[in-house]
Amino acid sequence: MDQHAQLRRTADNLQTPEASSSTISDGRTFVAHMLAGAAAGITEHTAMYPVDTIKTRMQALSHPGQRLHGSVVRALRAVVRREGVAGLYRGVGAVAWGAGPAHAMYFATYEQAKQLLGGNRAGYQWLPTAAAGAIATIVNDGFMTPVDVVKQRLQVAHSPYKGLADCTRQILQHEGVGALYKSYRTTVLMNVPFTAMHFSVYEAAKKWLLHVDNEEAEERLSVQLVADIEVAEERLSVQLVAGGLAGGAAAAVTTPLDVVKTRLQTEGVHSSKRYGTTAVLPVLRRIIQEEGMATIWRGMKPRVLFNAPAAAVSWGTYETMKDLLLGPEAQGHHHH
Question: Is residue 291 situated within a structural domain?
Answer: yes
* Number of independent structural domains in the chain: 1
Residue 158 has φ and ψ, to the nearest 5°, of: 50, 45
| Distance between CA atoms of residues 270 and 61, nearest Å | 7
Q: Is residue 332 part of a domain?
A: no
Q: Is there a domain that residue 6 lies in?
A: no
76 within some domain: yes
Spatial separation of the C-alpha atoms in residues 245 and 243, rounded to whole Å: 6
According to the model, what pLDDT value does residue 198 have? 84
pLDDT digits (tens, 9 = 90+) for 85-144: 999 999 999 988 888 888 888 888 988 998 888 877 766 677 888 888 889 889 989 989
Measured CA distances, 67 to 63, 74, 78, 295, 300 (Å) = 9, 12, 13, 11, 17
Asked whether residue 13 is domain-assigned, the answer is no
User: For position 180, what pLDDT does the model report?
Assistant: 93
Residue pair 299/59 in contact (Cβ under 8 Å)? The answer is: yes
End-to-end, the C-alpha distance of the chain in Å comes to 28
Would you give the distance in Å from CA 134 to the centre of its chain? 12
Q: Give the model's pLDDT for residue 63.
A: 57
Q: What pLDDT, on the 0 to 100 scale, is given for residue 48?
A: 86
**CATH for 94:** 1.50.40.10
How high is the pLDDT of residue 7?
41
> For residue 121, is it within any domain?
yes
pLDDT for 34 equals: 85
67-76 long-range contacts, CB within 8 A, separation 24+: 68/295, 68/298, 70/298, 72/301, 72/302, 72/305, 75/302, 76/50
Rounded distance, CA 183 to CA 174, Å?
17
What domain range is 145 assigned to?
30-326
SS (H, E, C) 151-177: HHHHHCCCCCCCCHHHHHHHHHHHHCH
Q: List per-residue pLDDT tens for the chain, 336 residues long.
A: 444 544 444 444 443 333 344 444 467 788 888 888 888 888 888 888 999 999 998 888 765 556 666 788 888 888 889 899 999 999 999 988 888 888 888 888 988 998 888 877 766 677 888 888 889 889 989 989 999 999 999 999 888 999 999 999 999 999 999 999 999 999 999 988 888 888 888 888 888 887 755 555 555 544 444 445 566 677 888 888 988 999 999 999 999 999 999 999 998 888 788 888 989 999 999 999 999 999 999 999 999 998 898 888 888 888 888 888 887 655 544 444
193 in a structural domain: yes
What are the strands, taking DSSP E only, across the chain? none
Cα torsion 319, 324, 325, 328: sign: positive
| 235 alpha carbon, distance to own chain's centre | 21
The SS3 assignment for 146 reads helix
CB pairs under 8 A, 24+ apart, for 245-248?
A: 245/201, 245/202, 245/205, 245/308, 246/197, 246/198, 246/199, 246/201, 246/202, 246/205, 246/311, 246/315, 247/198, 247/307, 247/308, 247/309, 247/310, 247/311, 247/312, 247/314, 248/304, 248/307, 248/308, 248/311
Q: Is there a contact between 243 and 312 (Cβ–Cβ < 8 Å)?
A: yes
- 334 within a domain of the structure (yes/no): no
pLDDT of residue 322: 85
